Every structure is written in structure tokens, then in C-alpha cells.
Amino acid sequence: MHYIKPRKYKTISRYQIYRQISDDSVYTETFNQTKIDQNNDVYHEVLSSEENRLDIISNKYYSSPDFYWAIALANDIIDPFDVPQGMILRIPKINSLFNYKGPLYSRI
């Protein structure tokens, strides 16, 4: 999988915040390009027992495996099943997800 160069729109478009991902076939999908603030983030080295398991890492830092997507988003990981041992991950603080214009801001 790889990123496709973003489209250039002549006018303002609601699709400007999305990037496209392709797996070299006709199928592409959009992925939210929201950035997560880097305020006092923690860094984590992936252990052999955590390889390809962002849910385990999420549970360790957030007490819930449900926030695996935040770790993937903060580290530009497309495939959560491709996280090798030894990779250094940026773990955003949980409150940075709810900050103004953060990925969960509109859900408050």
C-alpha cells in the first residue's frame, strides 16, 4: 500500500483533508489526515510480544485497546498489522485527541 499524491482542487472542497491510499489495484480509499498535537508525547519501542499489535500498546497507555487507531494516526501507519519489532512509536497523550481540531474534538 502507498499514498497517492493528493488531488489539487480549483475551489474549496470538503475532500481537501483526505488523502488517498492505493494497493496498486483500482481500489482506493480516503483516510482522514487529521494531525495529533505533539505535546509531551511518550515514545515506545515495539517489543517482540507486541509486534503487529497496536491494540496491546494502546491498552498499556490508554487502558483501552480501542485507541489503537490514534497510535497508527500519530505514526503515519497505514497497515496496523505491519508494525515490526524495534520500531519506535510516538504515543500521543489522550487529551491531545480531544484538543481543538483534534481527531475526537467534534465528538465531545
Q: State pLDDT tens for residues 45-94.
A: 999 999 989 999 999 999 999 889 889 888 888 778 889 999 999 999 88
Angle among Cα 83, 87, 92 to the nearest 5 degrees reads 90
* pLDDT for 87: 95
* Residue 97 pLDDT greater than 90, yes or no: no
pLDDT at 33 (0 to 100) = 60
Q: Is the predicted pLDDT of residue 26 greater than 70, yes or no?
A: no
Do 76 and 35 contact (CB within 8 A), yes or no?
no
pLDDT confidence of residue 53:
92
Query: CB neighbours of 36 closer than 8 A, spacing ≥ 6?
Result: 70, 73, 74, 92, 96, 97, 102, 103
Q: Quick one: what percent of the chain has pLDDT higher than 90?
A: 29
